[in-house]
Amino acid sequence: MGGPPLLSFPCELLALLLFLLCLQDFYKFDNIIVHSFAMVDQITEEKENALMPDISPSSAPQPFLPVLAPSPMATPFFNSSIPKLSGQCILNFSAVDSLISTTAVDCWTSFAPFLANVICCPQFQATLIILIGQSSKETGLLALDSTHANYCLSDIQQILGSQGANSDLQEICSVHPSNLSEGSCPVSDTDGFESVVDSSQLLTACGKVDPVNECCSKICQNAILEAARKLALRDGGLTTSMAINNTLIQHSSKIDSCRSIVLRWLSSRLDPSSAKQVLRRLSNCNVNGVCPLDFPDTKGVAKNCGNEIKNDTACCHAMENYVSHLQKQSFITNLQSLGCASLLGLKLQEMNVSTNIYSLCQISLKDFSLQVGTQESGCLLPSLPSDATFDPSSGISFTCDLNDNIAAPWPSASQASSSSCNKSVNYPSLPAATSSQLGLIGTDMKLAMVFSLSLLLIMLL
């Protein structure tokens, strides 16, 4: 072969060159890592500043605002863990395993505080009632003693937490071991219950609850109250003077305790799914009847909007700033938004704000609910009971009404109640919003607001 001789390097020199090249690349890579973490710190700080709520004009709590996030990393957050149970609880958890799974999703760790009033806590409380009711088929007991109540409440929290539920449900929903006991009701077993209450009459009234009319007709609620009254009267449970006074009966602690016993017995005579439907529909009457928002001091709005408004811009700026604090609290239903709008309007009228500033400043019902991200898409939950759902590909989702761009009604000065039973509420017909208008995917008059469980990473990175 006549070609030039190949260049040859000693093995040691070749190894040294390779080492130097690797060292150079490693130095560059190390710089990249260092700078990357610096950028992450900067982004994290910017994200935190963007997500931190403004200082409220009152002491009302201002939780972080959930934001829309992509879902590719949602699945890893759903790996169930093994709950550490006490071994001392006598309740049959397997009888309500489907309800427990639903409750874990309804009270998912990141969203429980925002869905507490409408979805999470009603479902959690219903699950506890049904758990005791179903277990009474074996134990004959409709209440737990204080020792077992502590064990069982701790166990149910452990089970829910192992499936992704918030670890502070007892605090969020104000549930205590005493909620699993008989309280001050003199009857706590099925035999005693059925010897006092007309069970067939109770089942007829509450076997099925009309989701629309029950809150006004109170067919089931009255039957439950009557049964609770009979239990409270057993063995002189209530004095004669209290028995005569209906108002005292309805508000006595014995009546409240016995109402819980009635609900547990009722849950024992229905399958868990039917019992859940009944309990959620009953609790929904209380949910929709009260505005759950904490209203800050209205002095700032009254200063700019009271008496004769001199500057519309200043008035609306003050009103929008005020409403922004309401938008950081929780999701509410359509009916709750009406009550909240009425309550705030009456408060402002007491501060000499006579002009309809809802109309002036274009305040809508959706402005009273938690806002979704940076988009103008406040979510009003359906007024009928609903649950969150979990999909492995998209994460947690729940349904919002699309028909929520409705002007908030300014209350009349003589308005005393916002109860939907006292008046008809007509929502104006609005065109369904398109996905481009909301930046979300809409279907008919409802919208599935999908929140990824990578939310925590998105907020941190």
Could you report the per-residue pLDDT of 226-280, keeping only the tens digit for each? 999 999 998 765 554 444 455 554 457 899 999 999 999 999 999 999 999 999 9
Phi-psi category of residue 424: left, alpha or beta, with phi > 0 → left and psi -120 to 50 → alpha: beta
Cβ atoms of residues 378 and 371 within 8 Å:
yes
What 3-state DSSP class applies to 166? coil
CA distance 393 to 278: 31
Instruction: Examine the pLDDT at 61 and tell me if it is beyond 60.
Output: no
Residue 409 corresponds to which amino acid?
P
CA distance 324 to 345: 16
Work out the pLDDT band at 445, boundaries 50, 70, 90: very low
Task: Give the DSSP H or E segment for 122.
Answer: helix 121-139
Q: Which of 67-81, 110-124, 414-428 has the lowest mean pLDDT?
A: 67-81
What's the pLDDT at 414? 61
Q: Which residue has the higher pLDDT, 278 or 425?
A: 278
Q: Which of 265, 140, 286, 260 is nearest to 200 (CA)?
A: 265
β partners of residue 364: 407
CA distance 307 to 133: 57
Count Cα atoms within 13 angstroms, Cβ side, for 284: 25
Instruction: Examine the pLDDT at 191 and tell me if it is beyond 80.
Output: yes
What share of the chain has pLDDT > 70, as a percent? 67
Cβ atoms of residues 345 and 411 within 8 Å:
yes
Cβ atoms of residues 152 and 127 within 8 Å:
no
CB within 8 Å of 29: residues ≥ 6 apart: none
What's the pLDDT at 281? 97
CB within 8 Å of 285: residues ≥ 6 apart: 214, 215, 221
For 101, counting Cβ atoms within 10 Å of its Cβ (0-12 exposed, 13-18 middle, 19+ buried), the class is: middle
Q: Which of 94-103, 395-404, 420-429, 445-454 has the lowest mean pLDDT?
A: 445-454
Q: Where are the domains of the chain?
A: 93-288, 298-398
CA distance 206 to 200: 10
What's the pLDDT at 31? 39
Residue 411 corresponds to which amino acid?
P
CA distance 383 to 332: 9
User: How is residue 335 written in tokens?
Assistant: 């009916």
Cβ atoms of residues 133 and 265 within 8 Å:
yes
DSSP 120: I
Instruction: Examine the pLDDT at 454 and tell me if it is beyond 50.
Output: no
CA distance 362 to 407: 7
For 334, counting Cβ atoms within 10 Å of its Cβ (0-12 exposed, 13-18 middle, 19+ buried), the class is: buried
Instruction: Examine the pLDDT at 183 and tell me if it is beyond 60.
Output: yes
Q: Which of 101-110, 285-294, 370-379 has the lowest mean pLDDT?
A: 370-379
What's the pLDDT at 375? 53
**Exposure pattern of 286-309 as b/e (b: 16+ CB <10 Å)?**
ebbbebbbebbebeebbebbbeeb
Residue 360: how many CB atoms within 10 A of its CB?
15
Helix axes 334-350, 272-288, angle to 10 degrees: 20
The mean per-residue pLDDT over the stretch 331-338 comes to 94
CA distance 400 to 420: 20
For 73, counting Cβ atoms within 10 Å of its Cβ (0-12 exposed, 13-18 middle, 19+ buried), the class is: middle
Q: What is the CA radius of gyration of the chain?
A: 29
User: How is residue 352 written in tokens?
Assistant: 């000499």
Mean of all residue pLDDT scores within the chain: 77
What's the pLDDT at 70? 34
Q: Where is mean pLDDT largest: 271-280, 369-378, 413-422, 423-432?
A: 271-280
